[in-house]
Amino acid sequence: MARPTPQTHGDILAAAARRFAVTGYRGTSLQEIASEVGCSKAAVLYHFANKEAILTELMAPAIAVLQSLDDRIAAQPDPASAQRVAAEGFVDLAVRFRREIALLRGEFPELLQQPVFAHIHEISERLIDAMAGRSERASARICALVLLAGIAETCGQFGDVTDEELRDALLALLRRALEPVG
């Protein structure tokens, strides 16, 4: 039990990511994380205020990128370019952060209630609106939502596919599947 450099914080984060990916956020107890790290549950709660704080730190980079994508979309002058930026930006984000997104798989509805994800709901509504080409038609909205949810739900499952291959496949899918603007 020699005292190494206090890298425990990072160890906990890594262990939590591994466990969350297998059993989900709610399905993973603090005790499991502690066991994987090789420390006590109390040690985990010494480094993180509570369980949610672990998730917050894990998701922070992805959320920051999502926020900036939201800004970029809002700055587009017309529906067509907004649709293009939204599609390309979302695919890029999904591919880059597919591990982080996979952590949330199957727990979106409830995790979205948590403070960390306070604004995600509005952001995803704007994303869908942009991908639907700002159209009010039900078919366009359905199409955008199905594709967005499908990508978010599955992007973490293609561990055997390279980033480039996945990005190309998803972009090609969006290009032929999204309803054209107008």
Question: Under the rule (CB under 7 A), what is the footprint of DNA?
Answer: 1-3, 6, 8, 26, 28-32, 39-43, 45-47, 50-52
Per the rule left: phi > 0, alpha: psi between -120 and 50, beta: everything else, 133 is: left
Question: Is residue 149 part of the contact set for a second copy (CB under 8 A)?
Answer: yes
Q: Which stretch binds a second copy (CB under 8 A): 11-19, 47-55, 71-79, 161-169?
A: 161-169
Verify binding: residue 1, a second copy, rule CB under 8 A: no
Name the nearest CA neighbour of 54 among 23, 33, 27.
33
Residues 6 or more apart whose Cβ sits within 8 Å of residue 149: none
Instruction: Please tell me whether residue 110 binds a second copy under the rule CB under 8 A.
Output: yes
The reply to whether 42 sits near a second copy by the rule CB under 8 A is no
Alpha-carbon gap, residue 175 to 156, rounded angstroms:
21
Least Cα distance to 47 among 33, 62, 32 occurs for 33
Report yes or no: 155 and 172 within 8 Å, Cβ to Cβ: no
Our finding on whether 150 is near a second copy (CB under 8 A) is yes
Q: Nearest approach, Cβ of 127 to DNA (angstroms)?
A: 30
Residue from 99, 105, 126, 134 binding a second copy (CB under 8 A): 105
Q: Is 138 in the site for a second copy (CB under 8 A)?
A: yes
Indicate the residue among 110 and 165 with the shorter CB distance to DNA: 110
* Binding region for a second copy (CB under 8 A): 23-24, 26-27, 105-110, 138-139, 142-143, 145-151, 153-154, 157-158, 161, 165-166, 168-170, 172-173, 176-177
